[in-house]
Chains A and B, each alone.
Chain A
Protein backbone atom coordinates (compact mmCIF):
# COMPACT_ATOMS: atom_id res chain seq x y z
CA UNK A 1 0.00 0.00 0.00
CA UNK A 2 2.89 2.35 -0.43
CA UNK A 3 5.42 3.86 -2.74
CA UNK A 4 5.26 5.29 -6.17
CA UNK A 5 5.06 1.88 -7.73
CA UNK A 6 1.72 1.38 -6.07
CA UNK A 7 0.53 4.64 -7.50
CA UNK A 8 1.74 3.65 -10.92
CA UNK A 9 0.03 0.29 -11.00
CA UNK A 10 -3.17 1.75 -9.62
CA UNK A 11 -3.53 3.34 -13.00
CA UNK A 12 -4.43 -0.04 -14.45
CA UNK A 13 -7.24 -0.39 -11.98
CA UNK A 14 -8.84 2.82 -13.06
CA UNK A 15 -8.64 1.72 -16.66
CA UNK A 16 -6.19 4.29 -17.89
CA UNK A 17 -2.78 3.66 -19.27
CA UNK A 18 0.15 4.86 -17.28
CA UNK A 19 2.65 3.67 -19.81
CA UNK A 20 2.14 6.65 -22.08
CA UNK A 21 2.94 9.15 -19.41
CA UNK A 22 6.10 8.61 -17.57
CA UNK A 23 8.83 7.14 -19.65
CA UNK A 24 11.45 9.41 -21.00
CA UNK A 25 14.97 10.48 -20.50
CA UNK A 26 17.52 8.50 -18.62
CA UNK A 27 19.28 10.17 -15.78
CA UNK A 28 21.22 6.95 -15.28
CA UNK A 29 21.51 7.49 -11.56
CA UNK A 30 23.02 4.03 -11.25
CA UNK A 31 26.35 4.89 -12.86
CA UNK A 32 27.86 6.32 -9.74
CA UNK A 33 31.45 6.13 -10.91
CA UNK A 34 32.36 9.73 -10.26
CA UNK A 35 35.36 9.79 -12.56
CA UNK A 36 34.83 10.12 -16.26
CA UNK A 37 32.11 12.05 -18.06
CA UNK A 38 28.74 12.48 -16.37
CA UNK A 39 25.63 12.88 -18.47
CA UNK A 40 22.88 14.94 -16.92
CA UNK A 41 19.41 15.42 -18.32
CA UNK A 42 17.83 18.84 -18.49
CA UNK A 43 14.13 19.34 -19.18
CA UNK A 44 13.71 22.74 -20.72
CA UNK A 45 10.14 24.06 -20.95
CA UNK A 46 10.83 27.06 -23.15
CA UNK A 47 9.20 27.44 -26.55
CA UNK A 48 10.75 24.70 -28.71
CA UNK A 49 10.95 26.70 -31.94
CA UNK A 50 11.76 30.24 -30.83
CA UNK A 51 13.50 30.00 -27.47
CA UNK A 52 15.14 26.57 -27.45
CA UNK A 53 17.94 27.38 -29.94
CA UNK A 54 19.37 29.93 -27.50
CA UNK A 55 19.40 27.37 -24.70
CA UNK A 56 20.90 24.71 -26.94
CA UNK A 57 23.70 27.10 -27.87
CA UNK A 58 24.34 27.82 -24.19
CA UNK A 59 24.40 24.10 -23.41
CA UNK A 60 27.03 23.59 -26.12
CA UNK A 61 29.06 26.42 -24.63
CA UNK A 62 28.76 24.82 -21.17
CA UNK A 63 29.89 21.44 -22.50
CA UNK A 64 32.96 23.01 -24.08
CA UNK A 65 33.87 24.64 -20.76
CA UNK A 66 33.21 21.42 -18.79
CA UNK A 67 34.51 18.49 -20.86
CA UNK A 68 33.58 16.07 -18.09
CA UNK A 69 29.89 16.89 -18.24
CA UNK A 70 27.52 16.01 -21.04
CA UNK A 71 24.06 17.57 -21.06
CA UNK A 72 21.14 15.68 -22.50
CA UNK A 73 18.91 18.57 -23.52
CA UNK A 74 15.21 17.64 -23.68
CA UNK A 75 12.55 20.07 -24.75
CA UNK A 76 9.34 19.41 -22.80
CA UNK A 77 6.15 21.36 -23.58
CA UNK A 78 5.42 23.72 -20.72
CA UNK A 79 1.81 22.59 -20.46
CA UNK A 80 2.84 18.97 -19.74
CA UNK A 81 5.95 19.55 -17.68
CA UNK A 82 4.45 19.72 -14.20
CA UNK A 83 2.47 16.49 -14.60
CA UNK A 84 5.31 14.77 -16.37
CA UNK A 85 7.85 15.65 -13.72
CA UNK A 86 5.50 14.72 -10.86
CA UNK A 87 4.72 11.37 -12.45
CA UNK A 88 8.38 10.58 -13.09
CA UNK A 89 9.52 11.73 -9.66
CA UNK A 90 6.75 9.84 -7.87
CA UNK A 91 7.63 6.69 -9.79
CA UNK A 92 11.28 7.18 -8.84
CA UNK A 93 12.63 6.99 -12.36
CA UNK A 94 12.70 8.95 -15.57
CA UNK A 95 12.93 12.33 -13.87
CA UNK A 96 15.55 14.76 -15.20
CA UNK A 97 18.50 15.98 -13.12
CA UNK A 98 17.63 19.60 -13.83
CA UNK A 99 14.21 21.03 -14.55
CA UNK A 100 13.14 24.46 -15.68
CA UNK A 101 10.25 24.84 -13.28
CA UNK A 102 7.55 27.46 -13.18
CA UNK A 103 8.07 29.57 -10.05
CA UNK A 104 4.68 28.43 -8.81
CA UNK A 105 5.59 24.74 -8.84
CA UNK A 106 8.70 24.97 -6.69
CA UNK A 107 7.07 24.99 -3.25
CA UNK A 108 4.85 22.03 -4.14
CA UNK A 109 7.76 20.01 -5.53
CA UNK A 110 9.88 20.85 -2.48
CA UNK A 111 7.08 19.81 -0.13
CA UNK A 112 6.90 16.44 -1.87
CA UNK A 113 10.65 15.98 -1.49
CA UNK A 114 11.43 16.04 -5.21
CA UNK A 115 14.07 18.77 -5.01
CA UNK A 116 17.48 19.28 -3.38
CA UNK A 117 18.12 22.50 -1.51
CA UNK A 118 20.72 24.58 -3.31
CA UNK A 119 21.99 26.70 -0.38
CA UNK A 120 25.76 26.69 -0.20
CA UNK A 121 26.21 24.91 -3.54
CA UNK A 122 27.92 26.45 -6.60
CA UNK A 123 24.44 27.05 -8.02
CA UNK A 124 23.64 29.58 -5.32
CA UNK A 125 27.07 31.21 -5.19
CA UNK A 126 25.84 34.50 -6.63
CA UNK A 127 22.56 34.48 -4.72
CA UNK A 128 22.99 38.12 -3.67
CA UNK A 129 22.90 39.37 -7.27
CA UNK A 130 19.33 38.24 -7.87
CA UNK A 131 16.13 40.18 -7.28
CA UNK A 132 15.42 39.50 -3.63
CA UNK A 133 11.70 38.95 -4.22
CA UNK A 134 12.44 36.16 -6.72
CA UNK A 135 14.79 34.46 -4.27
CA UNK A 136 12.03 34.61 -1.64
CA UNK A 137 9.64 33.00 -4.13
CA UNK A 138 12.09 30.14 -4.69
CA UNK A 139 12.49 29.50 -0.97
CA UNK A 140 10.41 26.93 0.86
CA UNK A 141 10.61 26.52 4.63
CA UNK A 142 13.83 28.47 4.84
CA UNK A 143 15.69 26.56 2.13
CA UNK A 144 16.45 27.75 -1.38
CA UNK A 145 15.14 25.21 -3.91
CA UNK A 146 15.50 27.04 -7.22
CA UNK A 147 17.64 29.64 -8.94
CA UNK A 148 15.57 32.22 -10.84
CA UNK A 149 16.25 31.96 -14.57
CA UNK A 150 13.72 34.32 -16.13
CA UNK A 151 10.93 36.41 -14.67
CA UNK A 152 7.74 37.71 -16.18
CA UNK A 153 4.42 39.34 -15.58
CA UNK A 154 1.31 39.84 -17.65
CA UNK A 155 0.71 43.05 -19.57
CA UNK A 156 -1.71 44.41 -22.11
CA UNK A 157 -0.09 43.88 -25.52
CA UNK A 158 -1.68 46.01 -28.21
CA UNK A 159 -1.32 46.77 -31.89
CA UNK A 160 -0.52 50.49 -32.06
CA UNK A 161 -1.46 50.80 -35.75
CA UNK A 162 -4.96 49.42 -35.20
CA UNK A 163 -5.49 51.59 -32.14
CA UNK A 164 -4.38 54.64 -34.14
CA UNK A 165 -6.71 53.72 -37.00
CA UNK A 166 -9.59 53.77 -34.54
CA UNK A 167 -8.48 57.15 -33.28
CA UNK A 168 -7.18 55.93 -29.92
CA UNK A 169 -3.81 57.28 -28.85
CA UNK A 170 -3.26 55.83 -25.37
CA UNK A 171 -3.59 52.31 -24.02
CA UNK A 172 -6.67 51.76 -21.83
CA UNK A 173 -5.99 51.92 -18.09
CA UNK A 174 -9.26 50.45 -16.79
CA UNK A 175 -11.42 47.54 -17.92
CA UNK A 176 -14.26 49.94 -18.70
CA UNK A 177 -11.99 51.91 -20.94
CA UNK A 178 -10.82 48.72 -22.67
CA UNK A 179 -14.45 47.84 -23.30
CA UNK A 180 -15.15 51.23 -24.85
CA UNK A 181 -11.96 51.03 -26.93
CA UNK A 182 -12.86 47.56 -28.20
CA UNK A 183 -16.22 48.76 -29.44
CA UNK A 184 -14.61 51.74 -31.12
CA UNK A 185 -11.94 49.57 -32.77
CA UNK A 186 -14.54 47.18 -34.12
CA UNK A 187 -16.50 50.08 -35.51
CA UNK A 188 -13.67 52.09 -37.05
CA UNK A 189 -10.95 49.55 -37.82
CA UNK A 190 -13.16 46.54 -38.50
CA UNK A 191 -11.24 44.06 -36.34
CA UNK A 192 -11.84 42.74 -32.83
CA UNK A 193 -10.54 45.03 -30.12
CA UNK A 194 -9.64 42.44 -27.47
CA UNK A 195 -9.32 38.67 -27.10
CA UNK A 196 -9.24 36.88 -23.76
CA UNK A 197 -7.50 33.56 -23.07
CA UNK A 198 -9.97 31.73 -20.77
CA UNK A 199 -7.41 30.51 -18.28
CA UNK A 200 -7.35 31.15 -14.55
CA UNK A 201 -3.84 32.63 -14.65
CA UNK A 202 -4.99 35.26 -17.15
CA UNK A 203 -8.00 36.06 -14.97
CA UNK A 204 -5.82 37.05 -12.02
CA UNK A 205 -5.69 40.77 -13.02
CA UNK A 206 -9.47 40.85 -12.57
CA UNK A 207 -9.08 39.72 -8.95
CA UNK A 208 -6.14 42.02 -8.25
CA UNK A 209 -8.08 44.89 -9.82
CA UNK A 210 -10.64 44.56 -7.04
CA UNK A 211 -7.94 44.37 -4.40
CA UNK A 212 -8.29 40.65 -3.75
CA UNK A 213 -6.45 37.38 -4.50
CA UNK A 214 -7.40 33.70 -4.55
CA UNK A 215 -6.57 33.34 -0.86
CA UNK A 216 -5.86 35.56 2.09
CA UNK A 217 -2.92 33.91 3.83
CA UNK A 218 -2.84 36.21 6.85
CA UNK A 219 -6.45 35.49 7.78
CA UNK A 220 -6.54 31.94 6.37
CA UNK A 221 -9.49 32.64 4.13
CA UNK A 222 -10.49 31.53 0.63
CA UNK A 223 -11.38 34.63 -1.34
CA UNK A 224 -13.16 33.07 -4.35
CA UNK A 225 -16.65 33.87 -3.19
CA UNK A 226 -15.82 37.16 -1.55
CA UNK A 227 -17.75 40.14 -2.86
CA UNK A 228 -14.59 41.58 -4.42
CA UNK A 229 -13.72 38.39 -6.34
CA UNK A 230 -17.31 37.99 -7.58
CA UNK A 231 -17.20 41.59 -8.73
CA UNK A 232 -13.94 41.00 -10.61
CA UNK A 233 -15.27 37.92 -12.41
CA UNK A 234 -18.47 39.78 -13.25
CA UNK A 235 -16.33 42.49 -14.84
CA UNK A 236 -14.57 39.80 -16.88
CA UNK A 237 -17.82 38.15 -17.94
CA UNK A 238 -19.23 41.51 -18.89
CA UNK A 239 -16.10 42.33 -20.88
CA UNK A 240 -15.94 39.17 -22.97
CA UNK A 241 -19.55 39.54 -24.13
CA UNK A 242 -19.11 43.23 -24.99
CA UNK A 243 -19.21 44.41 -28.61
CA UNK A 244 -15.81 44.39 -30.28
CA UNK A 245 -14.42 41.64 -28.04
CA UNK A 246 -13.54 38.42 -29.86
CA UNK A 247 -15.67 35.33 -29.22
CA UNK A 248 -14.27 33.23 -26.41
CA UNK A 249 -12.14 30.34 -27.71
CA UNK A 250 -12.19 27.42 -25.27
CA UNK A 251 -10.96 24.76 -27.69
CA UNK A 252 -7.77 22.81 -27.15
CA UNK A 253 -6.12 25.10 -29.73
CA UNK A 254 -7.41 28.25 -28.08
CA UNK A 255 -4.09 29.67 -26.95
CA UNK A 256 -2.48 29.27 -30.39
CA UNK A 257 -5.54 30.68 -32.15
CA UNK A 258 -5.49 33.83 -30.02
CA UNK A 259 -1.79 34.36 -30.65
CA UNK A 260 -2.24 33.85 -34.41
CA UNK A 261 -5.08 36.35 -34.48
CA UNK A 262 -3.03 38.94 -32.62
CA UNK A 263 0.12 38.40 -34.66
CA UNK A 264 -1.74 38.76 -37.95
CA UNK A 265 -3.64 41.87 -36.90
CA UNK A 266 -7.09 40.30 -36.54
CA UNK A 267 -7.24 41.31 -32.89
CA UNK A 268 -6.00 44.61 -31.53
CA UNK A 269 -5.10 43.67 -27.96
CA UNK A 270 -4.52 40.71 -25.65
CA UNK A 271 -3.20 40.04 -22.18
CA UNK A 272 0.11 38.22 -22.45
CA UNK A 273 3.58 37.77 -20.99
CA UNK A 274 7.08 38.51 -22.33
CA UNK A 275 7.66 34.88 -23.35
CA UNK A 276 5.51 35.51 -26.42
CA UNK A 277 7.25 38.67 -27.66
CA UNK A 278 9.69 36.75 -29.88
CA UNK A 279 6.71 35.05 -31.52
CA UNK A 280 4.80 38.29 -31.81
CA UNK A 281 7.69 40.04 -33.57
CA UNK A 282 7.59 37.26 -36.18
CA UNK A 283 3.94 38.05 -36.94
CA UNK A 284 2.94 39.88 -40.09
CA UNK A 285 1.61 42.85 -38.10
CA UNK A 286 4.79 43.41 -36.15
CA UNK A 287 7.57 43.38 -38.75
CA UNK A 288 8.06 46.89 -37.43
CA UNK A 289 8.77 46.10 -33.78
CA UNK A 290 7.69 49.53 -32.63
CA UNK A 291 4.11 48.66 -33.57
CA UNK A 292 3.83 46.53 -30.41
CA UNK A 293 2.50 48.47 -27.45
CA UNK A 294 3.07 47.07 -23.97
CA UNK A 295 1.11 48.60 -21.13
CA UNK A 296 0.23 47.57 -17.60
CA UNK A 297 -2.94 45.46 -17.41
CA UNK A 298 -6.04 47.63 -16.95
CA UNK A 299 -7.22 48.38 -13.44
CA UNK A 300 -10.45 47.32 -11.79
CA UNK A 301 -12.85 49.38 -9.74
CA UNK A 302 -10.37 49.55 -6.85
CA UNK A 303 -8.27 51.70 -9.17
CA UNK A 304 -5.30 49.39 -8.93
CA UNK A 305 -3.78 47.35 -11.73
CA UNK A 306 -2.15 44.05 -10.78
CA UNK A 307 -0.72 41.09 -12.66
CA UNK A 308 0.81 37.86 -11.36
CA UNK A 309 4.60 37.66 -11.28
CA UNK A 310 5.62 34.46 -12.98
CA UNK A 311 8.84 33.14 -14.39
CA UNK A 312 10.98 30.08 -14.16
CA UNK A 313 13.51 28.68 -11.73
CA UNK A 314 16.09 26.02 -12.40
CA UNK A 315 15.73 23.21 -9.87
CA UNK A 316 17.69 20.03 -9.22
CA UNK A 317 16.05 16.63 -8.74
CA UNK A 318 16.64 15.00 -5.37
CA UNK A 319 16.79 11.48 -6.81
CA UNK A 320 20.05 12.01 -8.71
CA UNK A 321 23.30 10.74 -7.20
CA UNK A 322 26.08 13.00 -5.90
CA UNK A 323 28.03 13.14 -9.16
CA UNK A 324 24.96 14.11 -11.14
CA UNK A 325 23.93 16.64 -8.54
CA UNK A 326 27.34 18.31 -8.62
CA UNK A 327 27.16 18.54 -12.40
CA UNK A 328 23.60 19.85 -12.20
CA UNK A 329 24.65 22.60 -9.81
CA UNK A 330 27.36 23.68 -12.24
CA UNK A 331 24.87 23.80 -15.10
CA UNK A 332 22.40 25.82 -13.05
CA UNK A 333 25.12 28.26 -12.04
CA UNK A 334 26.19 28.63 -15.65
CA UNK A 335 22.68 29.17 -17.04
CA UNK A 336 21.80 31.78 -14.42
CA UNK A 337 25.10 33.68 -14.63
CA UNK A 338 24.94 37.31 -15.69
CA UNK A 339 26.53 36.51 -19.05
CA UNK A 340 24.05 33.70 -19.86
CA UNK A 341 21.08 35.78 -18.75
CA UNK A 342 22.19 38.62 -21.00
CA UNK A 343 22.40 36.21 -23.93
CA UNK A 344 18.99 34.74 -23.16
CA UNK A 345 17.42 38.16 -22.79
CA UNK A 346 18.82 39.59 -26.02
CA UNK A 347 17.93 36.49 -28.05
CA UNK A 348 14.56 35.58 -26.48
CA UNK A 349 13.26 38.89 -25.15
CA UNK A 350 12.56 37.39 -21.74
CA UNK A 351 13.33 39.30 -18.56
CA UNK A 352 16.53 38.53 -16.61
CA UNK A 353 16.27 37.85 -12.89
CA UNK A 354 19.33 39.77 -11.80
CA UNK A 355 20.07 43.48 -12.05
CA UNK A 356 23.56 43.05 -13.50
CA UNK A 357 22.10 41.32 -16.55
CA UNK A 358 20.09 44.38 -17.63
CA UNK A 359 22.85 45.69 -19.88
CA UNK A 360 22.17 48.42 -22.41
CA UNK A 361 22.01 45.79 -25.16
CA UNK A 362 19.29 44.00 -23.21
CA UNK A 363 17.15 47.04 -22.49
CA UNK A 364 17.44 48.10 -26.14
CA UNK A 365 15.06 45.21 -26.94
CA UNK A 366 11.60 46.84 -27.13
CA UNK A 367 9.95 43.72 -25.69
CA UNK A 368 12.11 43.78 -22.58
CA UNK A 369 11.98 47.53 -22.14
CA UNK A 370 8.19 47.38 -22.35
CA UNK A 371 7.84 44.65 -19.77
CA UNK A 372 10.45 46.06 -17.44
CA UNK A 373 8.29 49.15 -17.21
CA UNK A 374 5.22 47.21 -16.10
CA UNK A 375 6.99 44.92 -13.61
CA UNK A 376 6.06 47.33 -10.84
CA UNK A 377 2.41 46.28 -11.20
CA UNK A 378 3.44 42.69 -10.50
CA UNK A 379 1.89 40.90 -7.54
CA UNK A 380 4.08 38.32 -5.78
CA UNK A 381 2.56 34.98 -4.85
CA UNK A 382 1.59 34.48 -1.22
CA UNK A 383 3.72 32.00 0.69
CA UNK A 384 1.59 28.89 0.42
CA UNK A 385 2.69 25.60 -1.11
CA UNK A 386 -0.79 24.83 -2.48
CA UNK A 387 -1.35 28.25 -4.04
CA UNK A 388 -0.53 27.19 -7.61
CA UNK A 389 -2.76 24.13 -7.34
CA UNK A 390 -5.72 26.48 -6.93
CA UNK A 391 -5.38 27.58 -10.56
CA UNK A 392 -6.70 24.11 -11.56
CA UNK A 393 -10.21 24.14 -10.05
CA UNK A 394 -10.46 27.90 -10.62
CA UNK A 395 -9.71 27.44 -14.33
CA UNK A 396 -12.27 24.64 -14.80
CA UNK A 397 -15.07 26.62 -13.22
CA UNK A 398 -14.01 29.85 -14.93
CA UNK A 399 -14.61 28.24 -18.33
CA UNK A 400 -18.07 27.19 -17.22
CA UNK A 401 -18.82 30.68 -15.91
CA UNK A 402 -17.62 32.40 -19.06
CA UNK A 403 -19.50 30.05 -21.40
CA UNK A 404 -22.68 30.56 -19.43
CA UNK A 405 -23.02 27.07 -17.99
CA UNK A 406 -22.91 28.38 -14.44
CA UNK A 407 -23.67 31.69 -12.81
CA UNK A 408 -20.70 33.60 -11.42
CA UNK A 409 -21.93 32.97 -7.88
CA UNK A 410 -22.44 29.21 -8.38
CA UNK A 411 -19.14 28.77 -10.18
CA UNK A 412 -17.14 30.59 -7.54
CA UNK A 413 -18.87 28.56 -4.80
CA UNK A 414 -17.83 25.39 -6.61
CA UNK A 415 -14.22 26.59 -6.72
CA UNK A 416 -14.44 27.28 -3.00
CA UNK A 417 -15.70 23.77 -2.20
CA UNK A 418 -12.94 22.18 -4.30
CA UNK A 419 -10.25 24.46 -2.89
CA UNK A 420 -11.15 23.45 0.64
CA UNK A 421 -9.87 19.98 -0.19
CA UNK A 422 -6.48 21.53 -0.89
CA UNK A 423 -6.57 23.95 2.04
CA UNK A 424 -8.69 22.29 4.72
CA UNK A 425 -7.76 24.83 7.39
CA UNK A 426 -8.87 27.80 5.31
CA UNK A 427 -12.32 29.26 5.88
CA UNK A 428 -14.75 30.04 3.09
CA UNK A 429 -16.34 33.47 3.07
Chain B
Protein backbone atom coordinates (compact mmCIF):
# COMPACT_ATOMS: atom_id res chain seq x y z
CA UNK B 1 0.00 0.00 0.00
CA UNK B 2 1.94 3.01 -1.32
CA UNK B 3 1.18 6.45 0.11
CA UNK B 4 2.22 9.91 -0.97
CA UNK B 5 2.09 13.02 1.20
CA UNK B 6 0.07 15.72 -0.56
CA UNK B 7 0.03 18.38 2.20
CA UNK B 8 1.91 18.48 5.47
CA UNK B 9 3.47 20.61 8.19
CA UNK B 10 4.29 24.18 7.23
CA UNK B 11 2.75 23.98 3.76
CA UNK B 12 -0.55 22.85 5.31
CA UNK B 13 -0.34 25.69 7.82
CA UNK B 14 0.23 28.23 5.03
CA UNK B 15 -2.72 26.75 3.13
CA UNK B 16 -5.00 27.16 6.17
CA UNK B 17 -3.81 30.77 6.54
CA UNK B 18 -4.57 31.47 2.88
CA UNK B 19 -8.05 29.94 3.13
CA UNK B 20 -8.73 31.99 6.29
CA UNK B 21 -7.54 35.14 4.52
CA UNK B 22 -9.92 34.44 1.64
CA UNK B 23 -12.80 34.09 4.11
CA UNK B 24 -11.84 37.40 5.76
CA UNK B 25 -11.83 39.13 2.38
CA UNK B 26 -15.30 37.83 1.55
CA UNK B 27 -16.98 38.00 4.96
CA UNK B 28 -15.47 41.12 6.55
CA UNK B 29 -16.50 41.24 10.21
CA UNK B 30 -18.35 37.88 10.00
CA UNK B 31 -21.39 39.53 11.63
CA UNK B 32 -23.78 37.29 9.71
CA UNK B 33 -21.54 34.28 9.09
CA UNK B 34 -21.17 30.88 10.74
CA UNK B 35 -18.79 27.98 10.12
CA UNK B 36 -20.03 24.38 10.09
CA UNK B 37 -17.50 21.56 10.03
CA UNK B 38 -18.62 18.24 8.59
CA UNK B 39 -18.10 15.09 10.63
CA UNK B 40 -15.56 13.69 10.78
CA UNK B 41 -12.93 15.12 8.47
CA UNK B 42 -14.04 18.74 8.59
CA UNK B 43 -14.14 19.19 12.35
CA UNK B 44 -10.47 19.77 13.11
CA UNK B 45 -10.06 21.86 9.95
CA UNK B 46 -13.03 24.10 10.80
CA UNK B 47 -11.67 24.63 14.32
CA UNK B 48 -8.23 25.51 12.89
CA UNK B 49 -9.81 28.03 10.51
CA UNK B 50 -11.91 29.55 13.32
CA UNK B 51 -8.75 29.88 15.43
CA UNK B 52 -6.75 31.41 12.55
CA UNK B 53 -9.46 34.01 11.89
CA UNK B 54 -9.41 34.85 15.59
CA UNK B 55 -5.62 35.32 15.48
CA UNK B 56 -5.77 37.46 12.34
CA UNK B 57 -8.86 39.60 13.00
CA UNK B 58 -9.75 38.99 16.67
CA UNK B 59 -13.19 37.77 15.58
CA UNK B 60 -14.70 34.63 17.10
CA UNK B 61 -16.84 33.14 14.36
CA UNK B 62 -19.58 30.76 15.64
CA UNK B 63 -18.58 27.21 14.74
CA UNK B 64 -20.73 24.07 14.68
CA UNK B 65 -20.42 20.40 13.85
CA UNK B 66 -22.72 18.59 11.43
CA UNK B 67 -23.07 14.83 11.00
CA UNK B 68 -24.52 13.68 7.68
CA UNK B 69 -24.95 9.95 8.41
CA UNK B 70 -28.77 10.00 8.45
CA UNK B 71 -28.88 11.98 5.20
CA UNK B 72 -26.52 9.83 3.11
CA UNK B 73 -27.81 8.37 -0.15
CA UNK B 74 -25.98 5.05 0.29
CA UNK B 75 -27.76 3.78 3.43
CA UNK B 76 -28.61 0.06 2.93
CA UNK B 77 -26.26 0.05 -0.09
CA UNK B 78 -23.08 -0.38 1.93
CA UNK B 79 -21.53 -3.42 3.60
CA UNK B 80 -21.64 -1.78 7.02
CA UNK B 81 -23.86 0.83 8.62
CA UNK B 82 -21.91 3.97 9.38
CA UNK B 83 -21.93 4.97 13.02
CA UNK B 84 -23.31 8.48 13.41
CA UNK B 85 -21.19 11.16 15.04
CA UNK B 86 -22.22 14.18 17.06
CA UNK B 87 -24.13 17.09 15.56
CA UNK B 88 -23.80 20.31 17.51
CA UNK B 89 -25.05 23.52 15.99
CA UNK B 90 -25.66 25.89 18.91
CA UNK B 91 -27.06 28.68 16.72
CA UNK B 92 -29.80 29.18 14.17
CA UNK B 93 -28.68 29.38 10.54
CA UNK B 94 -31.86 31.12 9.37
CA UNK B 95 -30.75 33.97 7.05
CA UNK B 96 -27.07 33.39 7.94
CA UNK B 97 -24.14 32.92 5.58
CA UNK B 98 -22.88 29.40 6.16
CA UNK B 99 -19.37 28.19 5.37
CA UNK B 100 -19.39 24.40 5.17
CA UNK B 101 -15.95 22.96 5.86
CA UNK B 102 -14.70 19.50 4.87
CA UNK B 103 -11.23 18.07 4.45
CA UNK B 104 -11.75 16.39 1.06
CA UNK B 105 -14.30 16.75 -1.72
CA UNK B 106 -14.51 13.69 -3.96
CA UNK B 107 -17.85 12.68 -5.54
CA UNK B 108 -19.81 15.56 -4.01
CA UNK B 109 -22.33 13.16 -2.43
CA UNK B 110 -21.30 14.00 1.14
CA UNK B 111 -21.79 17.68 0.44
CA UNK B 112 -25.22 16.98 -1.06
CA UNK B 113 -26.07 15.13 2.16
CA UNK B 114 -24.69 18.01 4.21
CA UNK B 115 -26.84 20.55 2.37
CA UNK B 116 -29.86 18.34 3.11
CA UNK B 117 -28.91 17.87 6.78
CA UNK B 118 -28.22 21.56 7.25
CA UNK B 119 -31.74 22.56 6.20
CA UNK B 120 -33.07 21.08 9.47
CA UNK B 121 -31.52 24.08 11.22
CA UNK B 122 -33.09 26.80 9.10
CA UNK B 123 -32.86 28.42 5.67
CA UNK B 124 -29.46 30.03 5.21
CA UNK B 125 -29.04 33.22 3.20
CA UNK B 126 -26.05 31.75 1.37
CA UNK B 127 -23.91 28.61 1.60
CA UNK B 128 -20.24 28.39 0.66
CA UNK B 129 -18.03 25.33 0.65
CA UNK B 130 -14.43 25.20 1.81
CA UNK B 131 -12.38 22.06 1.17
CA UNK B 132 -8.74 21.46 1.90
CA UNK B 133 -8.36 18.94 -0.92
CA UNK B 134 -10.34 18.84 -4.18
CA UNK B 135 -10.10 15.47 -5.94
CA UNK B 136 -10.62 16.83 -9.43
CA UNK B 137 -12.45 15.01 -12.25
CA UNK B 138 -14.22 12.64 -9.82
CA UNK B 139 -17.52 14.42 -9.19
CA UNK B 140 -20.81 12.45 -9.39
CA UNK B 141 -22.88 15.58 -8.73
CA UNK B 142 -22.60 19.18 -9.97
CA UNK B 143 -21.13 20.47 -6.69
CA UNK B 144 -17.97 22.59 -6.55
CA UNK B 145 -16.17 24.17 -3.58
CA UNK B 146 -15.96 27.94 -3.17
CA UNK B 147 -12.54 27.76 -1.49
CA UNK B 148 -9.93 25.07 -2.19
CA UNK B 149 -6.66 24.38 -0.42
CA UNK B 150 -5.14 22.13 -3.04
CA UNK B 151 -6.36 20.37 -6.17
CA UNK B 152 -5.29 16.75 -6.58
CA UNK B 153 -5.68 14.47 -9.57
CA UNK B 154 -6.50 10.99 -8.35
CA UNK B 155 -8.14 7.79 -9.51
CA UNK B 156 -11.15 5.94 -8.05
CA UNK B 157 -9.09 3.27 -6.27
CA UNK B 158 -7.06 5.84 -4.34
CA UNK B 159 -8.23 7.52 -1.15
CA UNK B 160 -7.06 10.37 1.04
CA UNK B 161 -6.52 10.18 4.77
CA UNK B 162 -5.73 13.02 7.15
CA UNK B 163 -3.51 12.97 10.23
CA UNK B 164 -3.78 15.89 12.64
CA UNK B 165 -1.76 16.82 15.70
CA UNK B 166 -5.05 17.09 17.60
CA UNK B 167 -5.47 13.36 17.10
CA UNK B 168 -2.09 12.64 18.65
CA UNK B 169 0.05 12.58 15.49
CA UNK B 170 3.52 14.16 15.54
CA UNK B 171 2.73 16.34 12.55
CA UNK B 172 -0.20 17.29 10.32
CA UNK B 173 -0.24 15.24 7.15
CA UNK B 174 -2.63 14.45 4.31
CA UNK B 175 -1.81 11.25 2.47
CA UNK B 176 -2.91 9.99 -0.93
CA UNK B 177 -3.04 6.22 -0.61
CA UNK B 178 -3.07 3.58 -3.33
CA UNK B 179 -5.16 0.56 -2.31
Chains A and B belong together in one complex: no
Interface residues of B (CB under 8 A from A): none
